Structure 1
Amino acid sequence: MPQENQLLKQSSVSFGWLVKMAWRDSRKNRSRLFLFISSIILGIAALVAVYSFRDNLTRDIDDQAKILAGADLTLESRKPADQKMIDTMGIEQSAERNFASMLYFVKSEASRLVQIRALEGNYPYYGNIETTPTQAAKDFKKGRKALVDKTLMLQFNAKVGDSIKVGALKFKIEGILDKAPNQTGISASVAPIVYIPLQYLPQTGLTKIGSRIQYKYYIKYSDKTNVDKLVKDLQPVFEKQNLDYETVSSKKENTGRSFRDVNRFLALAGFIALLLGCIGVGSAIHVYIGEKLSAIATLRCLGLKAKQAFFIYLIQIVFIGLIGAIAGSALGTLIQFALPAVLKDFIPVQITMQISWMAILQGVTLGIIISVLFALPSLLSVRRISPLNALRASFESHKETADPLKWLVYFFILLFVFVFTYLQMSGWLEALVFTGSVVFAFLLLFGVSKLLMWLVKKIIPNSLSYLWRQGFANLYRPNNQTLMLTVSIGLSTAFICTLFFVQGILINRVTLSSGENQPNMVLFDIQNSQKDAIANLARSYSLPVMNQVPIVTVRIEEINGKTAADLAKADSLSSAKPNNRETKRENQNEPSQRAFSGELRVTFQDSLTDAETLVKGKWIGEVKAPENIVYVSLEENYANRIKVDVGDKITFNVQGMMIPTIVGSLREVNWSRMQTNFRVVFPKGVLEDAPQFNVLMTKVPNSQISAKFQGAVVRSFPNVSVIDLDLILKVLDELLTKIGFVIRFMAAFSMATGWIVLISAVITSKSQRLRESVLLRTLGASRKQILTITALEYLFLGALAAGAGMILALGGSWALAVFSFESSFAPPILPIFILFISVVALVVFTGVFSSRKVLNQPPLEVLRRDS
């Protein structure tokens, strides 16, 4: 002590002395200090794992971009391109036709809607079509053979050598398709792929008018060709022929962009876990500093300045934060090797995991910053500890005055959350919404906990037994854990519940559309000559014809006399004069160029359906004379997107024939109903003679009749495709299960962090609980009574935290259901009850189990320790 006294007499002390004092002070508290920071280890681990995965995925996408694309240039269109032009491009070309069609397994007499890819040429030029046996990828092109997706082979118990029927033509299964270029597990389950040789496609009878065939052309260039520059020069030609194009660089960019969104979500999920841990850090440091008041006051009496005392404990936090960040980064580096297994169904490339030192550096830096930030509000109180505190009784009440520095720290914490979110989302609005949501959740849970403490203090009757009153009193006693546990456990519960509710909303939305009076099977690509026969076939199986509508493919040629070229020219003039406000205002009122991109499938009818509601204008269902004006009806949201309104003139290109129309009305459409809905509807008397196909909707009572009816349709009408809603539900459930597993994997970090915060809170207040236990034991309380008081306290805390979290989840899920999914929300009672009981039981068990050492301490030992 003489050396310390001599140093304290000096006007200033060295940094080395501060470090030494921080080290000496931490010797009896290192396990507790590390426990404080351990609550953020999982958050840092989650972020480092996501960052490492992101870095490795970005590198692999760059390295495998050519394999993803399969060719240097891919052209795509809804109609055949100029073959002479295609033949002059590159050094090698391949062609593909892909479309949805029914696949019929001859041996099992079963059928399934699949994605047919009719291929010609040596595509892919980079990478391979992976098959079993390997040679089948090349051999299937040598005859009437096919490659069938492995999921289909398993589903229908098919084997290599079996026969399948595509349209009117049979093919031999040459091999099992394990993986196609740019295919993932999710895409295979949603739309299984079947490859056939292109030369046999005409014989299938599936290329008739109305068939929804996508034309693709794959082109390979020499290694010296600058494909991106070449495409830029050819862009006017591609636009003229309505050809979409994709190069290796654009494929790499698009794939990287889609996975950036996934990585942003995963990073935000990890960040939520980190924020929960930070609550534990802040609360634990608050209790820790409170216990150090007498030691700090004694040092102040010896001459230590307030800022020097502040730096002693700041050094402790920095070093322990560094240890926690390094531990979290190491754990995250290990976890990253599990992420490819979790996300394998979503990744189209082969992942090669490596240690990302940049991700580790980011994790360590983030861990230190966030540890200090959330510890500062409590550390700042050290500056205001007076030497007189050494003489004051520990129970003397002391009201703190407002500290501007604390509010500045709170501002920096909020700014940190916003900046971090912005760096993940790269959008101010999204970052603001996320930050606002986090702040709202924190404030709501904070308010709920404060309200509970006030209510418990005011309304708990004295008639209750002593054990119950003592358990309730622990909710608002000094150094209580109500606020910290309500926020941490509540947010964790809200995160898990929201996931469960949203998954239920999506399933329920489709399930509701298949009610008793709703169709559950759709037959499309029906030619005009087949519609009566198809209807009769359905009736022969006692199936009702609930809806039968014609569909015509059209394009928008002009809107109010302006074409896409006119609008593009106007935009270029506007961009050349950025200060011309009048020109900008005029362009804002112009129709959108998106109206001219792609084809529209429209129908004609004389009355509105049950899913349609007129919201503006007048419905006219029939044109009685050729010279009469044609009034069309647009779906309200579609009209807003292309910026047209009632009274605007639209010229449609119907297979080369121009039909001028006027927007007569706008409709609101219930898209969730299982029936044919259209963005544009024509009146009768206009499109009857246009090339068209028909859609029939029916309701099948069970899977047995469904299989028999589908088989009959495929055998008699091979060009007709069938969508079975039961199959859609199964695919959707599988898809949501896989997505849910990924989200639950990240949500587990939040739950685990909340659990660690709970343990930390119990151990942090161990010394005070020890004194309370001794006092109660001295007054004659038994271990059983003290255990009951502890269990009741955590029972109330668990119920409060779980209840508050579920209220948040219910409110958020309701908002998503109503405003995002436009669906009703009916929360499932039994799962909510089970989850509530589970969370409460976990909190009670953890609280009682972690407090067992306190209950086993003899009073005399504690009294000796305090003396």
Structure 2
Amino acid sequence: MKFARRDLRGNLKGFRIFLACLVLGVAAIAGVGTLSNSITAGLRANGQVILGGDIDIRLTHRPASAEERQWIGDQGNVAEVQTLRAMVRDLNSDNRTLSELKAVDRAYPLFGTLKLSPESGSEAPADLLASKNGRYGALVEASLSERLGLPIGGQIRVGELDVEVRGIIISEPDKASQGMALGPRTIISSEALGKTGLVQPGSLIRYHYRIALHPGLTVPDFYENAKVAFPDAGWRIRDASNGAPGIKRFVDRVALFLTLVGLTALVVGGVGVGNAVRAYLDGKIETIATLKCLGASSSFIFRVHYLQVLFLAIAGSLAGLVIGVGGSVIAAQFLASTLPVPPKIVISAGPLLLAAAYGLLTATLFTIWPLARARETPAAALFRDVVSTHKRPRPIYLAALGLCFLTLVALAVLTSQEIWFAFIFIVSIIGIFAVLILVGHGVQQVARKLPRSKIPPLRLAVANLHRPGAATNSVVLSMGLGLTLFVTVALIEGNLTRQVQEQLPERAPAFFFIDIQSTQLDDFIKTAEAVPLVSEVNHVPNMRGRIVQVAGVPAEQVTVAPEARWALRGDRGITYSATPPAGATVVAGNWWPEDYSGPPLVSMDREIAEGMGLALGDKLTVNVMGREIEAEIANLREIDWTTMAINFVLVFDPHSLQGAPHSHLATARADGEAENNLFRAITDKFANISVIRMKEALQTVSRILEQLSSAVSAISSITLITGVLVLAGAFAAGHRKRVYDAVILKVLGATRKDIFATFLIEYALLGLVTSVIAAATGWFAAYMVITEILEAKWISLPVTIIATILVSVFITLLFGLLGSWRALGEKVAPALRSD
């Protein structure tokens, strides 16, 4: 401790890159963890507000029966809410748009406040929605008001009912629990909804019963009572502990990915740690040799220098924790306006301890090797040799390296909520790391075997790539890993954005039409096909059902693969068909005959079935409008979702569902002016049919992708910045060697121009090799994600690849030449005397 403390006095200059790398990595992990916990805490603290009650019971297609409603009312205070999609038309301008319609009773909201603009007046929402002078009121979101040019007092038509706009919604307390919106919100009263003509058999309406439980009745008690009272009701129950499950899942997964990216940045920084330690030891060669000659043991040398590294690692980790927490607080302020409730700043020990553990383990992992090699070097060799003849570390140190590595991997995997994803990510990073190490050694081997060039600068540059102490491995590792991750993210984001903005619109229908009643279907088809330039009018029966049992096991008890879990969350769209649907191929089993009339059969998406562990002949139980249907899996389909054709995970035989009340879903293609003509023709004639314009839906998805990719690109940039820092450290570590080379070359007659050209070629070659390998590795990783995991079509983005190569070469040249500039200016005589 005494020697370590003394030796560190005024000797920190070489550790600036060391500290910067640790601070960046630890700050990223601590910041992401703290922000994620804060968002989750905010959601949890406001769970009742977000959900709209202590309990939310949801039924699809049908309201609760009189008996069910009586039982629900006995559990506490109840607010009834109905949600659906409907067209809203401005009676003044005749403009119309799709809206997320919500019908509420006078008890709404049980928790929270529906905030309206000051112009809406001071009346309670229930009074604003009530019938006055023979007309009901409506509250509309500001975006709907702007889109249709609706002032307060304006008249709109919802279904077959004309209502008056009496307020502009600023914020809706339970909006986050409703999922992704395809249109702005309109709120009317439940009484008004009954007069719109939108409530018809099979209409896609969700009936919510929000309950503020009576004192003394707990949430677990409620669940138990519900199972006993109505075991086969088919309703979906959620409680306030997870009021916005979609947002929480999104936050958890993004936090997981960003934490792993932060860990990657830390590992990249570990290369800088190793470089800094090696450079530090190079400058301490005489001191180490002297201590050994004076009787210091090899283990004493190791302990002294490891303590120094540990002091600095603790300091860097603490600084990273402070910066990470501060950054998360600032980020929380920016995110407050985009989240349903503001994050509740929570500084938990868990994320901070994890980030600090990552920092200390990374520092130790990359420090043991250079320290152990210096420990094994005899004093005489240290005096004689400024270059490198160090031995391989002893087995005990190799074992320590392995232990640190396994602990780091175990922490990353076992502390993750998505263990499989974390494992794949870590394995991928290890694979890329191994490839880059091999590339670094390969570059040195190739440079060693190349024929000697007759051009002196080129010959010297190639020799510098493989000489003892060359920075080749450090440069390839530091820039390669950061660039690979950056290229991977950029290509995935670019592919997804191009798919949504360019590829999908080319194949997608112009519109989706929902809630077409069976009695309207023929008239709808005739109306659509009568519009010039409208084609491919397709339609299918459409209803909702919830999977309640998988092969006889309750759905909540089934172990399901991550990619199939979504199919068990809530209700899913289902249909029936006598023939295989377009855009899907039967890959196992056979389709039923068109006149089939036996026990229920179902066709499933192959990937979902495999994720649930199902095979042909297994049974699946689906609750449809309160009735449980147990069907045998007759065949499996491979579905190409990118065709945008109408397709369902579950398709039943017609005999099983044809008698159930249902509506129809339709699509149609139209281009140019035909789109507007079709839109008006359908909305003029059918007040109850909702029209989803695909361009607007895809734009919504595109905006979400852009926001997500911006966040991911920002955190991925930390890896690239760390790589640049490590690159600078690698060149700084080789400064003494550069000075020595420049002096010797000057003595032998080389000019500054010759030396500059040599360094220029060397760094250009390093940057080119590194960028090409990183671009190729990143391209392969992105290709596998897009084609194998997302099963989408790959789009080549050569501009991204070329830009990566150019940027990498430029950065390597810039830092290499900046690091060598001082070496070019060194005087020969002083340098020779000092050596």
What is the letter of the counterpart of residue 675 of structure 1? A
- Counterpart of 2:723 in structure 1 is 754
Separation in 1 of the partners of 2:177 and 2:54? Answer: 25
Aligned mate of 1:303, from 290, 295, 299: 295
Structure 1 residue 54, shift from structure 2 partner? 3.6
Q: Aligned residue for 1:8? A: none
Q: 1:693 aligns with which of 663, 675, 679?
A: 663
Q: Tell me which of 487, 494, 514 is aligned to 1:524.
A: 514
Amino acid at match of 1:37: L
- Aligned residue for 1:384? 376
Q: 1:658 to 1:364 in 2, by over 3 A?
A: closer
Gaps of 5+ in 2: 560-564
SS in 1 for 2:641: coil
- Measured in 1, the distance between the counterparts of 2:349 and 2:661 equals 61
Seq. identity, %: 23
8 Å contact 1:611–1:671 — kept in the other structure? yes
1:102-139 Cα distance to aligned partner (Å, 9 max, x none) = 23344554433332111113322222123323747625
Aligned ranges 1:246-325 → 2 under 5 Å: 246-251=238-243, 259-325=251-317
Distance in 2 separating the partners of 1:346 and 1:318: 41
> Is 1:443 matched up with 2:426?
no
On the 8 A contact 1:162/1:173 being kept in 2, the answer is yes
Say which of 117, 120, 127 aligns to 2:105: 120
Shift of 1:725: 2.0
Matches within 5 A, 1:102-181: 102-133=87-118, 135=122, 138=125, 139-143=127-131, 144-181=136-173
Distance 1:708 1:750, change over 3 A: same
> In 1, distance between residues paired with 2:768 and 2:209?
61
Counterpart amino acid of residue 124 in structure 1: P
| Residue 400, structure 1, aligned to residue 391, structure 2 | yes
Give, in whole Å, the separation in 1 of the partners of 2:831 and 2:333: 51
1:440-839 equivalence runs, <5 A: 440-459=431-450, 461-463=451-453, 465-510=455-500, 514=504, 519-551=509-541, 553=543, 567=552, 598=571, 601-605=574-578, 607-623=579-595, 633-637=603-607, 639-640=609-610, 646=616, 664-681=634-651, 691-702=661-672, 704-839=673-808
CA spacing shift, 1:737–1:642, aligned 2, 3 Å:
closer
- Pick the aligned partner of 2:207 from 205, 215, 219: 215
Q: CA RMSD in A?
A: 3.6
**Quick check: 1:69–1:247 contact (8 Å CA) kept in 2?**
yes
Alignment of 1:363-374 (within 5 A): 363-364=355-356, 366-374=358-366
Q: Name the CA shift for 1:35/1:517 in 2 (closer, same or farther; >3 Å).
A: closer
- Alignment TM-score, normalising by the size of structure 2: 0.88
Distance in structure 1 (CA, Å) of the matches to 2:513 and 2:792: 26
Deviations 1:693-736 (A, max 9, x none): 3333221213x543343233222212112222211221111010
Matched, 1:99 2:68: no
SS, match of residue 241 in structure 1:
coil
| Per-residue Cα deviation, 1:332-355 (whole angstroms, up to 9, x for no partner) | 232112322564576332124466
Residues in 2 aligned to 1:118 and 1:168: alpha-carbon distance in whole angstroms: 15
Aligned with 2:643: secondary structure? Answer: coil
Amino acid at match of 1:422: V
Which amino acid counterpart does residue 72 of structure 1 have in structure 2? D
Q: Whole-Å Cα distance in 2 between the matches of residues 649 and 355 of structure 1? A: 48
- SS state at 2:721 partner: helix
**Corresponding residue for residue 82 of structure 1:** 65
Partner Cα separation in structure 2 for residue 517 and residue 736 of structure 1: 20
Q: Distance in 1 between matches of 2:353 and 2:602?
A: 61
Equivalent-residue separation in structure 2 for 1:766 and 1:708 (angstroms): 72
1: CA distance, partners of 2:385 / 2:631: 89
Contact 1:632–1:682 (Cα < 8 Å) also in 2:
yes
Inter-partner Cα distance in structure 1 for 2:434 and 2:304? 32
Alignment match, 1:197:
189
> Helix, strand or coil: the match of 2:534?
coil
Look up the SS of the partner of 1:615 in the other structure: strand
Give the letter for the 2:229 counterpart. Answer: V
Q: 1:220 to 1:337 in 2, by over 3 A?
A: same
Q: 1:683 to 1:513 in 2, by over 3 A?
A: farther
Q: Could you say if the C-alpha distance between residues 152 and 678 of structure 1 is closer, same or farther in structure 2, counting changes exceeding 3 Å?
A: same
In the alignment, structure 1 segments of 5+ residues that lack a partner are: 1-14, 558-562, 576-583, 585-591
Deviation of residue 757 (structure 1)? 0.9
Task: Quote the residue 1:39 is aligned against.
Answer: 21
1:7 is aligned to: none
**Residue 70 (structure 1) aligned with residue 61 (structure 2):** no
Q: Secondary structure at the match of 1:699?
A: strand
Show the counterpart of 1:854.
823
Alpha-carbon distance in structure 1 between the residues aligned to 2:264 and 2:493:
20
Match of residue 581 from structure 1: none
Letter in 2 for 1:47: I
Moved more, 286-295 or 315-324: 286-295
- Matched to 2:536, the amino acid is M
TM-score, length of structure 1 as denominator length: 0.85
Distance 2:102 2:368 in 1: 62
SS of the aligned residue for 2:384 comes to coil
State whether residues 504 and 644 of structure 2, in contact with CA within 8 Å, keep that contact through their aligned partners in structure 1: yes
Cα distance, 1:656 vs. partner? 9.1
CA drift at 1:236: 2.6
Match of 1:588 in 2: none
**Alignment partners' CA distance in 1, 2:631 and 2:410:** 51
CA contact (8 A) 1:526 1:720 kept: yes
Partner SS, residue 164 of structure 2: strand
Could you tell which deviates more after superposition, 190-199 or 301-310? 190-199
Structure 1 residues 629 and 111 mapped into 2: Cα distance closer, same or farther (>3 Å)? Answer: same
The one-letter amino acid of 2:669's match is K
Q: What residue number does 1:22 align with?
A: 7
Aligned partners of 2:555, 2:681: CA distance in 1, in Å? 55
Q: Please list, as runs of the form range in 1=range in 2, the aligned pairs for 1:232-243 lying within 5 A after superposition.
A: 232-243=224-235
Alpha-carbon shift at residue 818 of structure 1 (Å): 2.1
- Give the superposition deviation at 1:418: 1.3
Inter-partner Cα distance in structure 2 for 1:809 and 1:699: 37
User: What is the CA–CA distance in structure 1 between the aligned matches of 2:619 and 2:149, rounded to whole Å?
Assistant: 55
Asked whether the equivalents of residues 26 and 317 of structure 2 are also in contact (C-alpha less than 8 Å), the reply is yes
More displaced stretch, 384-393 vs 648-657: 648-657
- For residue 80 of structure 2, give the secondary structure of its aligned residue in structure 1: strand
What code does the residue aligned with 1:701 have?
D
Please tell me whether the aligned partners of residues 487 and 800 of structure 2 are also in contact (alpha carbons under 8 angstroms).
no
Q: Is the 8 A contact 2:495 2:794 kept in 1?
A: yes
SS of corresponding position for 2:101: strand
Could you tell me which amino acid in structure 1 is paired with residue 576 of structure 2? Answer: T
Amino acid at match of 2:670: V
Shift of 1:224: 4.6
Note if contact 2:550-2:612 (Cα within 8 Å) is conserved in structure 1.
no
| Greater mean deviation of Cα atoms: 242-251 or 350-359 | 350-359
